[in-house]
Amino acid sequence: MTTTNTFSVHILDKEYQVACPEEQQAELITSARYLDKQMRAIRNSGKVIGLERIAVMAALNISHELLQASEQDGAIAQPRAPEDLDHKALEGLQRKIDDAMYQLRQLEIS
């Protein structure tokens, strides 16, 4: 049985509590470190101001890297028909994105 725990990750000197299955903790930490590195590089370039914008630029860069890696592996997924989508999973992802964006806005305000 999978146990979900809450783990702390640090991104741009801020601590975030993230729910994650215990067996995926190492991957969560690695992902958080990679995101932190990407966001720091963007912030340090001085070209992007604001935590939310830095986060969006990092997400775009990471997505681009993922797509390039997928193309090299020949593993580009074909779009699914709307009836094949897992709507509950999509709603869950949307909630996580909304929560993260809300937290980022709160950090920019304070």
Average pLDDT over residues 62-67: 88
Q: Is 28 within the bounds of a domain?
A: yes
Q: Is 34 within the bounds of a domain?
A: yes
pLDDT at 74: 66
**Dist CA 84 CA 87 (whole Å):** 9
Q: Tens digit of pLDDT for each residue in 8-21?
A: 999 998 999 999 99
- SS3 at position 77: coil
Amino acid at site 84: D
pLDDT at 108: 65
Q: Name the domain count of the chain.
A: 1
Q: Is 19 within the bounds of a domain?
A: yes
**Dist CA 17 CA 8 (whole Å):** 5
pLDDT at 41: 94
CATH of the domain at 8: 3.30.160.880
Percent of the chain with pLDDT over 90: 38
Q: Is 107 within the bounds of a domain?
A: no
Q: Which residue range forms the structural domain that includes residue 38? A: 4-78
In this predicted structure, the answer to whether residue 85 has a pLDDT above a threshold of 80 is no
Average pLDDT over residues 26-44: 93
Q: Is 48 within the bounds of a domain?
A: yes
Considering the entire predicted model, what is its pTM? 0.63
In this predicted structure, the answer to whether residue 65 has a pLDDT above a threshold of 70 is yes
